[in-house]
Amino acid sequence: LVKTEDEALEHIVALTQMYREQGRYLERIYKWAKRIGIAEIKRQIMDDGEKRKAYFDRFVFSQKFAQVDPWSERVSGKDKHEFRPMASVGFAQAAE
């Protein structure tokens, strides 16, 4: 088990990168894990610090080119025009 938040992030990111590299198109992570085997995942991520660090580094490198934060875009109002009401209908008008 991991002892710090940084260790947890390294393990999670390494697992994500391993899945990105070995998973098949449209293959869910749980199906990939079943196909690869938990023992193999544990061997590469939990037991092999060098391999885990290599996966982690490749993931971090990849995010320099493909990182988009959709929540940040939403807060800045990028899609605000998509969520305006088309019309304002009062209750009396709707009942008629």
Domain membership of residue 58 as a residue range:
5-67
Whether residue 56 is contained in a domain is answered as: yes
Whether residue 14 is contained in a domain is answered as: yes
Whether residue 94 is contained in a domain is answered as: no
Is pLDDT above 60 for 94? no
Between residues 82 and 88, the one the model is more confident about: 82
Cβ of 66: how many Cβ atoms within 10 Å? Answer: 6
Whether residue 42 is contained in a domain is answered as: yes
Residue appearing with tokens 């690869």? 36
Structurally, the chain folds into a number of domains equal to 1
Whether residue 53 is contained in a domain is answered as: yes
Whether residue 86 is contained in a domain is answered as: no
Check residue 10 and give its pLDDT. Answer: 98
Whether residue 72 is contained in a domain is answered as: no
Whether residue 96 is contained in a domain is answered as: no
